[in-house]
Amino acid sequence: MAIGNRISKLRDDRGWTQEQTAGMMGISRAALSHYEKNRREPDTETLSKFADLFKVSVDYLVGRTNTPHQILDEPVREFVDEIDQVDLTADDLLSKYNLSIDGLSLSEEEARRFIAFVRAERNMKKP
């Protein structure tokens, strides 16, 4: 399902008109119509605003998953918040936490990529 189709379905599911939705998004009704009809694709900032408005993930909007909500377990969310608040290096991360995936400890390079991923995701959500 294309981005526009998902946006249109999410809007319809809530019973919102295009005018109401466009107003909440701070865009014109015509722009919303173009998105919903897949004539244009929203830029990254607008895509993030749609995700926030509909309380779904960007991955859901772009069709990378059919699960609208990605929910982090509370310990994972606390960990991610801590990483974001402190400028941890990969070495700090590895020494402070025993991180593993599928029973295998993360390498220093994997830890660096993990930090970069979290920061990139957070930057996408900033207004």
Predicted TM-score (pTM) of this structure = 0.57
Per-residue model confidence as pLDDT tens digits over 50-107: 998 998 888 889 988 887 766 556 676 676 666 656 666 667 766 777 777 888 888 8
pLDDT computed for residue 76 by the predictor: 67
Residues 6+ apart with CB under 8 A from 7: 32, 35, 36, 50, 54, 61
Per the structure, the count of domains in the chain is: 2
* Unique residue bearing structure tokens 């379905």: 9
Judgement on whether residues 57 and 21 belong to the same structural domain of the protein: yes
Judgement on whether residues 57 and 13 belong to the same structural domain of the protein: yes
Judgement on whether residues 79 and 119 belong to the same structural domain of the protein: yes
Whether 81 maps to a domain, the answer reads yes
Domain housing 16: 3-61
Whether 98 maps to a domain, the answer reads yes
Judgement on whether residues 57 and 105 belong to the same structural domain of the protein: no
